[in-house]
């Protein structure tokens, strides 16, 4: 008899984890400015979020995979996130902020890939239900962005660490309420040789390359989108609305993702999602002054982010089932989000210097188009014979 999926416990972790990001991503640069940091220092400090993603997921999952009780590494990571974040309550100078950012970003980035593996360990054979669990992360993000925006209209931004601390404690509490699924617990430790064999398969290599290129294509959005719109005459209220549109529509896609994958295979959804990103970046480059076009472009976030991410998790469950999931998540987050995020910001910055926002988004469209071609041509399920042979 199949074990019931602990949907509430799993969803609570996504809700709290991304609620933290709802306070961090839009407002942390304002906090750093309030602490006396200039633009160059803020840029360097914020880049540590991506830099630590390169090493944190793979190293943490490597430790968890070699533990008799891997869930303890999730607990430790969350506790370390809380402890390191408390440093921001102190009057730190640049050196202190740099050290605190390194430690906090490392531990906070380390925990989510492990938890993704925990979630998929409960969804063996029903990975299409992933979106209905992950969607609560988007809801948490939206809720905290709105709440903190209201609170910071009435409070000094210096209060931001105190506002975020309860969210980190909530993440830790949820971590202690969760554990791996029974199939994962019975199969530990994972076979490293099997993981390496799967990692060398051409369809898996193509999959990770697609993920890297997509993350590169998002570089101008995450780095310069607000500035790009501002240069074309949009008011601050419009900037917030454009960002809110993107996150809101992803909620609906995550809720509908089980039906999506019952109708179409993950590979098809991946190709459509990545191709839509190429179109999104191209029209963003060519028609920045059209409110209608820019609104439609933001609505495609439902496809090129939410549907893309849901299809990625479907394929991860196929490529790295059971105890291999932690290893796979470490590679995905380190290579795609870490290397891709850092390089995406760097390339977007250089393109902006050479040709402004138009060139930056045109380069992004090229990355996404190449990714779509690779996904269409080479991303496939692992053949059944290969699965049987490891």
DSSP 213-261: HHHHHTHHHHHHHHHHHHHTT--HHHHHHHHHHHHHHHHHHHHHHHHHH
d(CA 5, CA 182): 11
384 Cβ contact list (under 8 Å, min separation 6): none
CB atoms within 10 A of CB 54: 19
The pLDDT score that the predictor gives to residue 237 is 59
Residue 26 has pLDDT above 60, yes or no: yes
234-271 b/e (C-beta count within 10 Å ≥ 16 → b): beeeebeebbebbbbbbbebbebbbebbeeeebbebbb
Say yes or no: 197 and 334 in one domain: yes
Residue 3 placed within a domain: no
d(CA 322, CA 117): 8
Say yes or no: 200 and 181 in one domain: no
The pLDDT score that the predictor gives to residue 120 is 81
**Last-in-domain residue among 126, 154, 188:** 188
Residue 1 placed within a domain: no
DSSP structure string for 158-191: GGHHHHHHHHHHHHHHHHHH----HHHHHHPSP-
Residue 14 has pLDDT above 50, yes or no: yes
pLDDT grade for 388, boundaries at 50, 70 and 90: very low
Say yes or no: 180 and 209 in one domain: no
Give how far the C-alpha of residue 385 lies from the chain's centroid of Cα atoms, to the nearest Å: 32
d(CA 16, CA 152): 20
Read off the pLDDT of residues 294-347 as tens digits, 9 standing for 90 and up.
999 999 998 998 899 889 988 988 888 767 776 787 788 788 877 888 788 788
Say yes or no: 133 and 214 in one domain: no
The pLDDT score that the predictor gives to residue 190 is 46
Q: What is the dihedral of CA 349, 210, 282, 345, to 10 degrees?
A: -10
Average pLDDT (124-134) is 79
Say yes or no: 134 and 236 in one domain: no
324 Cβ contact list (under 8 Å, min separation 6): 190, 191, 194, 195, 198
pTM comes to: 0.75
Say yes or no: 323 and 201 in one domain: yes
Q: What's the CATH number where 165 sits?
A: 1.20.1250.20
Say yes or no: 179 and 246 in one domain: no
The chain-wide mean pLDDT, for the chain, equals 85
Computed from CA positions of residues 26, 28, 31, 36, in that sequence, does the dihedral angle turn out positive or negative? Answer: negative
Helical (H) or strand (E) element with 13: helix 7-34
Return the higher-pLDDT residue of 384 and 122.
Answer: 122
Give the domain range for residue 302: 190-390
Read off the pLDDT of residues 63-120 as tens digits, 9 standing for 90 and up.
877 777 888 999 999 999 999 999 999 988 999 999 999 999 999 998 988 888 888 8
**Last-in-domain residue among 161, 188, 215:** 188
Read off the pLDDT of residues 137-170 as tens digits, 9 standing for 90 and up.
988 988 888 788 778 778 888 899 999 999 999 9
Say yes or no: 180 and 32 in one domain: yes
d(CA 114, CA 327): 9
Computed from CA positions of residues 88, 90, 93, 99, in that sequence, does the dihedral angle turn out positive or negative? Answer: negative
The total domain count for the chain is 2
Say yes or no: 181 and 219 in one domain: no
**Last-in-domain residue among 130, 156, 188:** 188
């Amino acid at each position: 008899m199949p074990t019931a999926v602990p949907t509430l416990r799993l969803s609570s972790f996504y809700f709290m984890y991304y609620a933290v990001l709802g306070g961090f991503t839009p407002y942390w640069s304002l906090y750093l400015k309030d602490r006396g940091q200039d633009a160059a220092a803020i840029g360097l400090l914020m880049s540590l979020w991506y830099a630590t993603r390169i090493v944190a997921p793979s190293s943490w999952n490597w430790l968890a995979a070699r533990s008799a009780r891997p869930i303890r590494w999730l607990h430790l990571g969350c506790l370390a996130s809380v402890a390191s974040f408390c440093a921001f309550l102190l009057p730190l100078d640049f050196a202190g902020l740099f050290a605190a950012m390194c430690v906090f970003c490392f531990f906070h980035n380390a925990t989510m890939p492990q938890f993704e593996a925990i979630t998929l360990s409960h969804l063996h054979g029903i990975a299409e239900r992933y979106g209905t669990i992950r969607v609560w992360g988007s809801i948490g993000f939206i809720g905290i962005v709105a709440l903190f925006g209201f609170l910071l209209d009435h409070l000094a931004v210096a209060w931001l660490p105190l506002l975020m601390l309860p969210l980190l404690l909530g993440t830790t509490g949820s971590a202690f309420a969760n554990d791996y699924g029974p199939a994962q617990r019975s199969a530990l430790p994972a076979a490293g040789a099997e993981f390496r064999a799967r990692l060398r398969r051409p369809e898996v290599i193509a999959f990770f390359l697609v993920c890297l290129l997509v993350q590169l294509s998002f570089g101008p959005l995450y780095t310069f989108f607000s500035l790009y719109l501002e240069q074309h005459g949009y008011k601050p209220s419009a900037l917030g609305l454009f960002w809110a549109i993107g996150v809101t529509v992803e909620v609906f896609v995550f809720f509908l993702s089980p039906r999506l994958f019952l109708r179409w295979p993950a590979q098809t959804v991946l190709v459509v999602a990545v191709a839509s990103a190429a179109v999104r970046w191209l029209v963003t480059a060519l028609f920045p002054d059209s409110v209608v076009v820019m609104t439609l472009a933001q609505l495609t976030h439902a496809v090129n982010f939410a549907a893309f991410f849901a299809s990625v998790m479907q394929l991860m469950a196929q490529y790295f089932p059971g105890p291999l999931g932690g290893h796979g998540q470490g590679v995905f987050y380190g290579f795609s989000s870490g290397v891709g995020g850092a390089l995406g910001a760097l390339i977007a910055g250089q393109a902006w210097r050479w040709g402004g926002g138009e060139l930056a988004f045109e380069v992004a469209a090229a990355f996404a188009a190449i990714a779509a071609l690779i996904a269409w041509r080479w991303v496939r399920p692992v053949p059944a014979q290969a699965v049987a042979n490891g």
